[in-house]
Amino acid sequence: MKRRVVVTGVGLVTPVGNSVETTWSALLQGRSGVDYIKKFDTEHPHKFPVRFAAEVKDFDPLQFIEKKEARKMGAFIHYAIAASDEAIRDSGLEITDENAEQIGTYISSGIGDFWAIEREHSKLLNDGPGRVSPFFIPSAIVNLASGQVSIRHGAKGPNSATATACSAGAHAIGDSFRIIERGDADAMICGGAESAITPMSVAGFAALRALSTRNDDPQHASRPFERDRNGFVIGEGAGIVILEELESARRRGARIYAEIVGYGMTADAFHITMPDETGSGAIRVMQKTLKDAGVEPEVVDYINAHGTSTPYNDKFETVAIKKAFGEHAYKLAVSSTKSMTGHLLGAAGGIEGVFSILSIYHKRVPPTINYVNPDPDCDLDYVPNEPREMEVRYALSNSFGFGGTNAALLFKRYEE
């Protein structure tokens, strides 16, 4: 018999705030976290075609980690630790010798620490192999966010990470749901972390023509589902949730934000970067998630869309929602918080899972900002520009990644 799984804690580091409170407040104010890049010089010695991003701001890892240890970690690990610390505090979860083997970590990333790769490669070319840091590999590889959080808190249960591009954070939450559901852990610290705003990464995504080039107006560059969208804005940060078996949460009197009731995974099997124009993979992942939860499409109130602000993604996600939900699609609130946070790649599913949970808990749906000119191909209710107070009983969170990998999570208002 499947065990029920609930959310008892959340933690965030995002381009609009370094905590849940500051981030959620910014979303409800419709505030953009996009600005000109400060992490490196986009003008010299070469001018970048894209000179803006959604960077984390005013973040000091030394508030969370000792200086000596922080130097051994990539920034995505710093973000994961900060968000995990907040989520664990928020949940009131205590990890002890008695329960440590039943508490796991599952924190994914699409890329890991690109900064470490670029920095150490430069050392190798300029100064030789003897100058490469012994901490290069453990600071950069994807699973070390999960590993460092596990070590920090003594969580001895399952310890894993996926590198499924922009679906990675959602896969981490969904896989953790399954782990608890089948009894392999009682609680999981899970989500996604990313820090890929680097010269090589920005140049690479720009070469793919995936990024918006609105260099004259960065704050209005991310405009999901809007007629004049022309690409996504790269972001960074971390989103972590504490999933817990229901009886465990009840026993310790934990606050329950929501229940997770459905999870789906599919593949487009179509193209390395472009979504399937029929929406097939996205349709099936939403249908599988609803089937997993044992509910009809009509119960869903809100979708936190993948909504990247690229021409094809937004059009085909709209097609998929209409095919998966039928006439009910026009009754759904569908918003893309990427309009404010940018696209956090492997961390997107983590932060957007948190946003979906908070929408249920606070009965407020964040908007899609920069929505000025409607696109005839995107004709759903995208909660334009202003947040909405509404009862959200079921919220769906979509995440689609390069390689045609798709994930969806369904959260439900907790009821006894």
CATH of residue 231's domain is 3.40.47.10
Is 171 annotated in the active site? no
pTM across the whole model: 0.98
Give domain status of residue 416, yes or no. Answer: no
User: 48 with 72, same domain?
Assistant: yes
User: 78 with 140, same domain?
Assistant: yes
Q: Rounded to whole angstroms, how far apart are CA atoms 152 and 281?
A: 38
- pLDDT at 276 (0 to 100): 86
- pLDDT at 244 (0 to 100): 98
Q: Rounded to whole angstroms, how far apart are CA atoms 160 and 143?
A: 7
Pairing of strands 35-36, 52-53: antiparallel
User: 41 with 130, same domain?
Assistant: yes
User: 203 with 271, same domain?
Assistant: no
Give domain status of residue 414, yes or no. Answer: no
Report whether 30 contacts 387 (CB < 8 A): yes
Q: Cite the DSSP H helix spans in 136-194.
A: 136-140, 144-153, 168-181
User: 95 with 217, same domain?
Assistant: yes
pLDDT-based confidence at residue 270 (cuts at 50, 70, 90): very high
- pLDDT at 284 (0 to 100): 98
User: 235 with 289, same domain?
Assistant: no
The last residue of a domain, from among 222, 251, 280: 251
Into how many domains does the chain fold? 2
- Token pair of 387, please? 């947040």
- Token pair of 11, please? 């933690």
Give domain status of residue 257, yes or no. Answer: no
User: 277 with 397, same domain?
Assistant: yes
Q: What does the pLDDT look like over 35-73, one tens digit per residue?
A: 999 999 999 999 999 999 999 999 999 999 999 999 999
Is 306 annotated in the active site? yes
- pLDDT at 1 (0 to 100): 78
Cβ neighbors of 123 (< 8 A, separation 6 or more) are 131, 132, 133
**Within 13 Å of residue 60, how many CA atoms lie on the same side as its CB?**
4
Q: Kindly report whether the peptide bond that precedes residue 297 is cis, defined as omega within 30 degrees of 0.
A: no
Report whether 371 contacts 384 (CB < 8 A): yes
Q: What does the pLDDT look like over 129-139, one tens digit per residue?
A: 999 999 999 99
User: 213 with 270, same domain?
Assistant: no
Catalytic residue among 166, 171, 190, 378: 166
Lookup result for tokens 């997993």 = 292
Give domain status of residue 256, yes or no. Answer: no
pLDDT-based confidence at residue 297 (cuts at 50, 70, 90): very high
Give domain status of residue 209, yes or no. Answer: yes
Q: Kindly report whether the peptide bond that precedes residue 45 is cis, defined as omega within 30 degrees of 0.
A: yes
* Mean pLDDT for the stretch of residues 342-370: 98
Nearest Cα residue to 233 out of 33, 383, 44, 79 = 33
Q: Rounded to whole angstroms, how far apart are CA atoms 30 and 392?
A: 19
Q: What does the pLDDT look like over 85-140, one tens digit per residue?
A: 999 999 999 999 999 999 999 999 999 999 999 999 999 999 999 999 999 999 99
Q: Rounded to whole angstroms, how far apart are CA atoms 13 and 59?
A: 9
Q: Rounded to whole angstroms, how far apart are CA atoms 148 and 90?
A: 19
User: 380 with 242, same domain?
Assistant: no
User: 267 with 234, same domain?
Assistant: no
Residues in the chain: 416
Give domain status of residue 124, yes or no. Answer: yes
Q: Is the pLDDT of residue 416 over 90?
A: no
User: 68 with 205, same domain?
Assistant: yes
The last residue of a domain, from among 187, 219, 251: 251
Is 166 annotated in the active site? yes
Q: What does the pLDDT look like over 188-205, one tens digit per residue?
A: 999 999 999 999 999 999
Catalytic residue among 78, 171, 343, 378: 343
User: 77 with 109, same domain?
Assistant: yes
Catalytic residue among 78, 153, 171, 306: 306
Give domain status of residue 321, yes or no. Answer: yes
Give domain status of residue 322, yes or no. Answer: yes
Pairing of strands 103-108, 159-160: parallel
Q: Rounded to whole angstroms, how far apart are CA atoms 114 and 251?
A: 42
Q: Is the pLDDT of residue 275 over 90?
A: no
The last residue of a domain, from among 251, 278, 304: 251
Domain, as residue range, for 317: 263-409
- pLDDT at 83 (0 to 100): 98
Average pLDDT, the chain: 97
- pLDDT at 249 (0 to 100): 98
Number of neighbouring beta carbons within 10 Å of residue 125: 8
